[in-house]
Structure 1
Amino acid sequence: MGNAVLEQVSKYSYLGHMITEDISTLKEIQIWIEKTSQRFWENKELLRRNVGFNTKKRILACYIFLVFNYGCETWSYPKTVQKKIQMFEMWRYRRPLNVLWTEEKTNKEIIQIADIGERLLQQLMKRKVRYAGHIMRGRSGLLLQLPLEGKIKGKRGQGKPRRN
């Protein structure tokens, strides 16, 4: 490094996460949706008609939603992100149930048919709360507690705080 000048970029990938200038999680969630879509189509043979739906649900939980959960503790969940996650989850359940969009079934009907206990968004938010508790207990080190306790030196940026 020494005297080298570092280039400032608007976004970059670090440990599988997209870091952006505006700290928006919407782009990162879109990337994870694409990754899990790829994983979904790799396992489409397991989602054929001759496999029971309970087995299909387990496959979704194991191979699709588990990949999507990676790093979810650091995401923020504004309304736009919540809707995107809910749409992603419903699409993943509609496909193995062979429910077409032309049938005009609501998400509530899909949830009843699929007998979904806990929704994906609820699971993600629970993981975030558990991670915050882990940090507050001090097992991750004091440095991670500083932002949560508001002990960071300096002033916040001018203007209205961002919601994303």
Structure 2
Amino acid sequence: MEDLTKEEVDIRIRAGWSYFGRNREIFLDKNMPLSLKKQVYDQCILPTMTYGCQTWSLTKIIGNKLKVAQRSMERKILGIKIKYKIPCKNIRQQTHIKDVVLFAERQKWNWAGHVARMSDNRWTKRATEWQPRIGRRSRGRQPLRWSDSIAKVKGRLWQRGW
């Protein structure tokens, strides 16, 4: 079974840019208050970009893709060109926009809590706990599974501790 997370993230980023483009008169208007731009971004674009993120295996590559798109949107909102070489921290201090990767991780943890508290006969819980009968995984570095990041923090029996 192949992991389509990268393709899904690309689709979500394109959807975020599409929404940004449809509302460019709000985001690119110099007279519009930054607080309104932030509110529209946090309520519309961030959920669009992270729709379905509860099921993603967030790797560094995927996280970087999301961060690059978010930073680019922030620069456009402030009217800052990349050639000015203003650090991302300074831009984030001005916009106070939620970090997309932290938002996605928080959503994933919320979903993991729901799954852990579900009754054992629910299909979602069974699919999460399912182990294929094939047995072995291939040699080399293993692809990141959905539950690996949760198990890294909470332990292998993470579903029993909620």
TM superposition score normalised by structure 2: 0.78
Displacement of 1:152 in angstroms is 2.7
What is the 5 A alignment of 1:1-164? 22-47=2-27, 48-116=29-97, 118-138=98-118, 141-149=121-129, 151-154=130-133, 155-160=135-140, 161-163=142-144
Distance across 1 between alignment mates of 2:33 and 2:48 = 22
Residues 146 and 152 of structure 1 are in contact (CA less than 8 Å); yes or no, is this contact kept in structure 2? no
Residues 119 and 125 of structure 2 are in contact (CA less than 8 Å); yes or no, is this contact kept in structure 1? no
Q: Please give the secondary structure, in 1, of the residue aligned with 2:36.
A: helix
Alignment size in residue pairs: 142
Distance across 2 between alignment mates of 1:58 and 1:140 = 39
TM superposition score normalised by structure 1: 0.77
Q: Quote the residue 1:13 is aligned against.
A: none
The alignment yields a C-alpha RMSD, in angstroms, of 2.1
Larger proportion of strand: 1
The one-letter code matched in structure 2 to 1:133 is: G
Structure with bigger gyration radius? 1
Residues 135 and 141 of structure 1 are in contact (CA less than 8 Å); yes or no, is this contact kept in structure 2? no
Distance across 2 between alignment mates of 1:68 and 1:143 = 27
Gaps of 5+ in 2: 146-162
Q: Which moved more, 1:91-100 or 1:61-70?
A: 61-70
In percent, how many aligned pairs have the same letter? 23
Indicate the structure whose relative CO is greater, using CA pairs within 8 Å and at least 6 residues apart. Answer: 2
Distance across 2 between alignment mates of 1:130 and 1:156 = 30
